[in-house]
C-alpha cells in the first residue's frame, strides 16, 4: 500500500490540518465543536513542525 491517511496528512502539513479543524469547530453548534478537536499528537506535530510519520518516541509510549 502506498500512501494512506498519515502520508496524505504529512503532504498537507499538521499545522494546516489543525487550522482547518479549528475553523470547522467554529462553524458547527457548540455541542458538536468537540468533534473537531485535534488530538494532542496532531497539536504537538503542528507546533513542532514534525511529520506525523515520525511516530511517538518509544519512551513516550511507556
pLDDT at position 56 is 72
Judge whether 19 lies within some domain.
yes
For the chain, what is the domain count? 1
**Residue 9 domain boundaries:** 5-50
Residues 6+ apart with CB under 8 A from 49: 14, 15
**32: in domain:** yes
- Residues 11-56 have pLDDT tens digits of 999 999 999 999 999 998 888 888 999 999 999 999 999 999 887 7
3-state helix, strand, coil in the chain (%, to 5): 75, 0, 25
Whether the predicted pLDDT of 61 surpasses 60: no
Give a yes or no: residue 61 inside a domain: no
pLDDT at 1 over 80: no
- What pLDDT score was predicted for residue 14? 95
- pTM as predicted: 0.79
**Is residue 17 one of the residues assigned to a domain?**
yes
Amino acid at each position: 500500500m502506498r500512501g494512506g491517511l498519515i502520508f496524505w496528512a504529512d503532504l498537507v502539513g499538521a499545522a494546516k490540518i489543525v487550522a482547518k479543524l479549528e475553523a470547522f469547530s467554529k462553524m458547527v453548534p457548540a455541542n458538536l465543536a468537540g468533534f473537531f478537536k485535534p488530538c494532542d499528537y496532531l497539536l504537538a506535530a503542528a507546533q513542532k513542525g514534525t511529520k506525523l510519520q515520525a511516530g511517538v518516541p518509544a519512551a513516550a509510549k511507556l
